[in-house]
Chain A
Amino acid sequence: QVQLVQSGSELKKPGASVKVSCKASGYTFTDYGINWVRQAPGQGLEWMGWINTNTWNPTYAQGFTGRFVFSLDTSVSTALLQISSLKAEDTAVYYCARSNRDALDFWGPGTMVSVSS
C-alpha cells in the first residue's frame, strides 16, 4: 500500500535551518511527483510547490522561493524539504503529498516545525 512517512517534529530557533524528510513506499517513487503543503496553526492549506522525481526539477509557489529548497534522495525513495533562515512565521505543519492525475492522492501525516527563541 502507498505510504508517505515523514520525519518527526522539530523545534528550532530563529535563523536556524531545518530539513524535513518524506519517505515513500508501496509504489515506484519516480512515477509520481512529490508536493509540499504548509498549514500554519489554525489556518488553511498552502501549496508550496512540487518536485519532479524523474528530472529532479523543482517548482516553487510564490512566497516559497529563496529560503525553501526541495530535493530528493531517490536511492531511498525520499523527498526532502529544507528551510533556511527560519522565522517565527514558518511555524506550521508541513505535509508531503503525491501528485497523481493533477491531484494530491496520498499524503504524509505531517511534520510540525516550531520556530521560537
Chain B
Amino acid sequence: DIQMTQSPSSLSASVGDRVTITCRASQSISSYLNWYQQKPGEAPKLLIYTASSLQSGVPSRFSGSGSGTDFTLTISSLQPEDFATYYCQQSDSTLWTFGQGTEVEIK
C-alpha cells in the first residue's frame, strides 16, 4: 500500500495566521491527492481534489499544491471555523489511503 505521512501531527495557530500542512507519499502518486477537513462529531468534508482543485463551496482561502510525492495544503488566513483536523488521501492506486491527520488548534 502507498503510505501517506502528514506533518505536523498538530499545530497551534491564531486567527489570521497563514497555515501550511504537508503530506508526503511513499511513492509517486502524480496529482491524485485530496484534502479533507473534519470537525469533532462530524463527517469529513472534501476541500481539495486532485492536489489543487477547490471543491465547490469551499472558501478560496484554502489552496493545495504539489505533485509526485510532496503536497501542501495552505490556509491563507485562518478563521475560527477552520479549527479542525485535516487529512490527506491518495487515490492513485487501486487501494486508497489516508494520512494520519493534522489537528489545527487555537493558540
Residue numbers of A with Cβ under 8 A of B are 35, 37, 44-47, 49-50, 59, 61-62, 95, 97, 101-105, 107-110
Contact = CB atoms under 8 A, between A and B. Distances in A.
B32 interface: yes
A44 B98 contact: yes
A45 B43 contact: no
A109 B44 CA distance: 9
* Interchain residue pairs A-B with the least CB separation, the first 7: A102-B91, A103-B49, A107-B43, A103-B34, A44-B101, A45-B98, A47-B96
B89 interface: yes
Interface of B: 1, 32, 34, 36, 38, 43-46, 49-50, 55, 87, 89, 91, 94-101
Contacts of A61: 1, 95-97
A10 to B, nearest CB: 18
Contacts of A35: 96
Contact of A47 (B32, B43, B89): B89
Contacts of B89: 45, 47, 103-104
A99 B22 CA distance: 23
B36 A104 contact: yes
Contacts of B34: 102-104
Nearest to B96: A47
